[in-house]
């Protein structure tokens, strides 16, 4: 689990664009304000709240309808995002406000109707304990911004909360990571195949196509050795994989045999050519 701080503030202003997006300002924090969490009080000061490195972590982060059940990242944000924080920000007295855009029609309507009045940033603070017992937030790393429907609006004394968000990967996130891993492995295998076999392929007058996947490269290599009929029989990945494994395990003897066959064929061709030349010479004399 990942604990995130969340502090709720009223939406200062908003406007509907001609394309029906909602542009608004969101308060990300207020300096010199006690933030009362269940077990402690935290606060920040302008020097830390308006730190540019901290503010940069908020730019482009997703806006969600209520706080999500898990920490957001590039893999899962699309599932929860109804908008995005932008890059424009300003200092309004002690408040840090950042431009935001929402594109979710039901949420936009609730904001326009006054049913949604609050936003709440989810962030991880770096903090230090002061002598007065309060914790000073010296840096914030923002994860997301939530808009809070009526049922989630803060009640008196509940402006600040701790969110314990799941940090495990979602199924689709795992699938994406596995796909990325498979893609990287496939690229690595392709590079190894081209590095080892490219001279052999060129020597056999085959066309190099770097867009081929690893199985396509293997078929191209095998086409330099085996007849087309044999390759046509490898009509699924399992058969090709098995055939390739057998080839890899015995490639030295297979290539040696092929070399001998080629040399024998060349010798026979040479003998045939010599005989034809002899016959032509005799025929010419006659």
Q: Which of 128, 144, 167 is the last residue of a domain?
A: 167
Q: Does the pLDDT at position 50 exceed 90?
A: yes
To which H or E segment does residue 164 belong? strand 160-165
Contact 129/135 with Cβ under 8 angstroms?
A: yes
Around Cβ 68, how many Cβ atoms within 10 Å? Answer: 21
Q: State pLDDT tens for residues 105-130.
A: 999 999 999 999 999 999 999 999 99
Range of the domain at 253: 174-280
Q: State pLDDT tens for residues 75-97.
A: 899 999 999 999 999 999 999 99
In a domain, 82, yes or no: yes
Identify whether residues 154 and 181 lie together within a single domain: no
pLDDT at 286: 47
Separation between Cα atoms, residue 84 and residue 137, nearest integer Å: 24
Contact 24/11 with Cβ under 8 angstroms?
A: yes
Domains in the chain: how many in total?
Answer: 2
Average pLDDT over residues 192-213: 87
Cβ-count burial 10-40 (b if 16+ within 10 Å, e if not): ebeeeeeeeeebbebbbbbbbbebebeeeee
pLDDT at 193: 87
Q: State pLDDT tens for residues 220-252.
A: 998 888 888 887 887 777 788 888 888 888 888
What token pair was written down for 241? 């994989």
Identify whether residues 49 and 137 lie together within a single domain: yes
Identify whether residues 128 and 65 lie together within a single domain: yes
In a domain, 285, yes or no: no
In a domain, 32, yes or no: yes
**To 10 degrees, what angle do helices 214-223 and 171-203 make?**
20
What token pair was written down for 174? 């795992």
Of 245, 206, 235, nearest to 254 by C-alpha is 245
Contact 206/223 with Cβ under 8 angstroms?
A: yes
In a domain, 286, yes or no: no
Separation between Cα atoms, residue 160 and residue 214, nearest integer Å: 54
Q: What is the pTM of this model?
A: 0.59
Average pLDDT over residues 152-180: 65
Q: Which of 167, 202, 220 is the last residue of a domain?
A: 167
Separation between Cα atoms, residue 25 and residue 13, nearest integer Å: 6
Identify whether residues 58 and 127 lie together within a single domain: yes
Q: Does the pLDDT at position 2 exceed 70?
A: yes
Q: Does the pLDDT at position 158 exceed 90?
A: no
Q: Considering the chain, what is the average pLDDT of its residues?
A: 84
Q: Which of 131, 150, 167 is the last residue of a domain?
A: 167
Coil, strand or helix at 143: strand
In a domain, 96, yes or no: yes
Backbone angles phi, psi at 106, to 5 degrees: -60, -40
Backbone angles phi, psi at 169, to 5 degrees: -75, 140
Q: DSSP of 33-67, one letter per residue? A: --EEETTEEEE--HHHHT-HHHHHTTTT-EEEES-
Identify whether residues 73 and 157 lie together within a single domain: yes
Identify whether residues 198 and 146 lie together within a single domain: no
Q: Does the pLDDT at position 32 exceed 50?
A: yes
Identify whether residues 105 and 70 lie together within a single domain: yes
Identify whether residues 181 and 138 lie together within a single domain: no
Identify whether residues 32 and 114 lie together within a single domain: yes
Match 């940033």 to its residue by tokens: 121
Average pLDDT over residues 168-188: 58
Identify whether residues 152 and 178 lie together within a single domain: no
Coil, strand or helix at 142: strand
Separation between Cα atoms, residue 19 and residue 38, nearest integer Å: 42
Q: Nearest 5 degrees, angle CA 188-CA 191-CA 194?
A: 150
């Amino acid at each position: 689990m990942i604990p995130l701080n969340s502090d709720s503030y009223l939406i200062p202003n908003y406007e509907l664009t001609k394309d029906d997006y909602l542009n608004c300002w969101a308060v990300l924090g207020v300096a010199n304000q006690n933030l009362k969490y269940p077990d402690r009080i935290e606060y920040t000061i302008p020097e830390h709240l308006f730190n540019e490195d901290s503010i940069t972590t908020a730019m482009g982060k997703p806006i969600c309808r209520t706080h999500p059940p898990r920490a957001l990242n590039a893999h899962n944000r699309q599932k929860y995002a109804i908008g995005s924080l932008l890059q424009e920000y300003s200092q309004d007295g002690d408040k840090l406000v950042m431009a935001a855009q929402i594109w979710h029609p039901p949420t936009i309507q609730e904001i326009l109707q006054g049913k949604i009045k609050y936003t709440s940033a989810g962030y991880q603070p770096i903090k230090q304990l002061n002598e007065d017992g309060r914790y000073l937030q010296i840096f914030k790393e923002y994860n997301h911004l939530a808009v809070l429907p009526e049922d989630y609006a803060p009640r008196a004394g509940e402006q600040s909360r701790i969110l314990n968000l799941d940090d495990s990967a979602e199924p689709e996130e795992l699938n994406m990571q596995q796909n990325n891993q498979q893609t990287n492995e496939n690229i690595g295998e392709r590079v190894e195949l081209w590095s080892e076999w490219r001279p052999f392929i060129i020597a056999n007058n085959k066309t190099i196509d770097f867009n081929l996947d690893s199985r396509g490269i293997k078929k191209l290599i095998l086409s330099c050795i085996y007849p087309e009929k044999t390759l046509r029989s490898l009509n699924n990945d399992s058969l090709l994989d098995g055939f390739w494994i057998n080839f890899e395990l015995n490639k030295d003897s297979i290539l040696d045999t092929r070399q001998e066959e080629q040399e024998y064929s060349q010798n026979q061709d040479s003998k045939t050519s010599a005989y034809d030349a002899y016959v032509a010479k005799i025929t010419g004399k006659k």
